Amino acid sequence: GESVGLHLPTLSVQEGDNSIINCAYSNSASDYFIWYKQESGKGPQFIIDIRSNMDKRQGQRVTVLLNKTVKHLSLQIAATQPGDSAVYFCAERGSNYKLTFGKGTLLTVNP
Amino acid sequence: EPEVTQTPSHQVTQMGQEVILRCVPISNHLYFYWYRQILGQKVEFLVSFYNNEISEKSEIFDDQFSVERPDGSNFTLKIRSTKLEDSAMYFCASSDSGVRGDTQYFGPGTRLTVL
């Protein structure tokens, strides 16, 4: 069946460092992946997405890497800032646009 | 920037009561969704809705749940007889159609507390 999971439940980094958040997925048929950021008491906020025909996509300070061979997704945040502190979820799209979310990684940025 | 809105932000109800959670998706979006998140857990898909009918629903979305698009702007989730385990954050999301239609934009959520 479908499952999306995260390697680490928590990640603590120093301000200015780069952060890497990892995610594993099991559905090889998934064709679209998204990273969401969720701050306390708020809904998931779209960060970046990637389609299965790509292996890398860059945004502003964020990069998503997709390795279909090992079914692995990662989110890289450059020069992490205190405002980046949040829970980060990866999600994969299945049939009818349904999203399956991972458990989330709590990113804490220390000043 | 257009955004998904949800009301109320917090709903407290007694077990067995009916609740209706409301959402206003981003205008001109055609795909609508409900997700829920039990405290401390991951976001779970409930239902997707397109062209005035359910496209897909999860095992969670049993006969106690229903969705409706009563007019051109609102999208509602009804729980007919709430149970304690229905306590969660409920998120509405919407997406466009076409090539750029994949991104689902989420609302701020409604916190449902069943007593």
Torsion on CA atoms A1, A6, B10, B45, rounded to nearest 10? -20
pLDDT value at residue A95? 65
Give residue B35's identity as a one-letter amino acid code. Answer: Y
pLDDT value at residue B18? 97
Strand partners, B11: B112
* Percent helix, percent strand, percent coil in chain A, to nearest 5: 5, 55, 40
CA distance B89 to chain A (A): 9
Look at B1 and A12; give whichever has higher pLDDT: A12
pLDDT in tens, chain A (111 residues): 344 554 448 999 999 999 999 999 878 888 899 999 999 888 999 999 999 999 999 999 999 999 999 999 999 999 999 999 999 999 998 766 788 998 889 999 998
User: Does residue B94 register a pLDDT over 90?
Assistant: yes
Among the partner-chain residues A43, A95, A102, the one whose CB lies closest to the CB of B42 is A102
Interchain CB distance below 8 Å, A98 and B35: no
Chain A CB contacts of B102 below 8 Å = 32, 34, 49, 93, 97
Rg, C-alpha atoms of chain B = 13
Q: State how far the Cα of B46 lies from the Cα of B33, in Å rounded to an integer.
A: 7
Top residue of A99, A100, A101 to mutate, by most chain B CBs within 10 Å, is: A99
Q: How far apart are the first and last CA of chain A?
A: 41
Q: State how far the Cα of B66 lies from the Cα of B68, in Å rounded to an integer.
A: 7
pLDDT value at residue B45? 94
Q: How confident is the model at residue B67 (pLDDT cuts 50, 70, 90)?
A: very high
Q: How crowded is residue B22: how many other Cβ atoms within 10 Å of its Cβ?
A: 16
